[in-house]
Structure 1
Amino acid sequence: MMLFCMIAVLSSNSIEAQASENVQARAQKECIKPWQAQLKGDLRKLWIDHMIWTRNYIVSAVAELEDQEQVLARLLKNQQDIGNSMKPYYGEEAGNKLGELLIEHIMIAGKIVDAAKGGNQAELEEFNKQWVRNSDDIAQFLSSINPNWTEKELKKLLYRHLQLIADELTARIGKDWNAEIAAYDMGEAHIVMFADVLAEGIIKQFPKPLK
């Protein structure tokens, strides 16, 4: 099978200094199969969309724009798409379960936006607790279907995701546009890392492409 490889260019002196089997071992380590590259790219796209449509919803909801309902519908579709991406590996029920947890994640986020916009601190604290609990549920569920995803690691990644979204929302409400942009950029980089963790876990669990 053809492989996509990223092999460093070696000088003639380096080539002479290394045994041929070491060069081959290095090349083997740095190769990624086409289906693995496709999986990683697909998951990155889905989770970057998660960030994009979450931001679009924050913008629309804070400003009470006319497209708020349509943007929310598109954001919720993304959660279903992420759940569906897991179905080839973990089955219909597991994919639907993840989709449901992610939809809950968004619905709680919507309540957080409303509470923050209205300055209701008591509601904001309560919804934040629900958001953390939902993240715990997502981490527990994912770790239960793939031992390569540890619950501890996933919780850490998801909590960071929540914080960056909260930072973005706070900056938007406060009209601190530079801070909002910085929070989004950090959030996007973080979600790519999260998507890669998921992809790498699947690749370890399923080292051969599904038929």
Structure 2
Amino acid sequence: MFGAQRLGKGLVPALAGAALAATLLAGCSSAGSSDASAASGMHMTSGAATTAPNPQKQIALYTAMRTLWTDHMQWTYGTVKAFFHNPDSLQPTLDRLLRDQKDLGAAIVPYYGQAAGDKLAALLTTHIQQAVPVLKAAQANDKAALDKAMADWYANAKEIADFLSGANPKNWPTSATEPMMKEHIDQTTTYSVDLLKGDYTKSIKDYDAASEHMMMLSDTLAKGIIAQFPDKFAA
């Protein structure tokens, strides 16, 4: 199985409400642009806000990001469960999960451009595809194959983190994005181990813990976009 003794924790979502988003906005509603350089292929149009921040626009971004990352988590859990215990539902569940990765890429297009959105969608699609060798190796109890698949999965997570940091280095430094993405892999692995064992009670508990982490990651992304592009969130 997955080698639970050395693999990590759990991850997933909870839909954002306006009240929670409003609380999160308390520390990030001030205007001011980042002079951060974009990653290769990124297009940025940030500038100093000339009017006061618009809390409703900020809340809308927080909510939209949380919805997308909630889908990412829920459909990942569903795909892993289907892989181990319900093969007939695997393909449609996986297809829905892959659609969400395109939606996540599209979500950054208004801020960083189409090429950047396509790049993020491609990296996230690889993130999903590389989970398959992990699940196969775990199911076969093939340690060598599992070690290789996990190394590839972590490498892709680092790519995603570095891509985000390149787009917004001031607000998404690698010191934040790389640990967050690694934690995501750790936590996904943990509840996947639970599902492999058929321990659904523990899988739900670990999924809930993972959800909290993913919502923190989602909020970090929203907060960084607002700080980098204050004009887009002005009244």
Calculate the TM-score normalised by the size of structure 1.
0.84
Calculate the TM-score normalised by the size of structure 2.
0.75
Alpha-carbon separation, structure 1, partners of 2:54 and 2:139: 46
Given candidates 139, 142, 149, the residue that maps to 1:127 is 149
Classify 1:99/1:176 alpha carbon distance in 2 versus 1 (closer, same or farther; 3 Å): same
Return the structure number with greater helix share. 1
Alignment of 1:195 with 2:218, yes or no, is: yes
- Give the aligned partner of residue 183 of structure 1: 206
**What is the CA distance between 1:6 and its match in structure 2?**
6.4
Deviations 1:148-185 (Å, cap 9, x if unpaired)?
A: 10112111111111111100011111122222111100
Given candidates 38, 46, 52, the residue that maps to 2:74 is 52
- State the AA in 1 paired with 2:149: F
- State the AA in 2 paired with 1:101: L
Alpha-carbon separation, structure 1, partners of 2:228 and 2:159: 21
Alignment of 1:96 with 2:118, yes or no, is: yes
Alpha-carbon separation, structure 2, partners of 1:179 and 1:32: 41
SS at match of 1:208: helix
Runs of 4+ in structure 1 off by over 6 angstroms are 4-7
Classify 1:121/1:37 alpha carbon distance in 2 versus 1 (closer, same or farther; 3 Å): same
**What is the CA distance between 1:209 and its match in structure 2?**
1.7
- Give the aligned partner of residue 83 of structure 1: 105
Classify 1:51/1:43 alpha carbon distance in 2 versus 1 (closer, same or farther; 3 Å): same
Alpha-carbon separation, structure 2, partners of 1:73 and 1:6: 33
Deviations 1:14-39 (Å, cap 9, x if unpaired)?
A: xxxxxxxxxxxx9x87x961111000
Alpha-carbon separation, structure 1, partners of 2:94 and 2:22: 40
5+ long unaligned stretches in structure 2: 1-18, 31-52
Structure number with the bigger relative contact order (C-alpha 8 A, sep ≥ 6) is: 2
Give runs of aligned pairs for residues 1-211 of structure 1, distance below 5 A. Answer: 33-147=55-169, 148-209=171-232
The share of aligned pairs that are identical, in percent, is: 32
* Structure 1 stretch displaced more, 194-203 or 148-157: 148-157
Greater Rg, structure 1 or structure 2? 1
Alpha-carbon separation, structure 1, partners of 2:202 and 2:149: 23
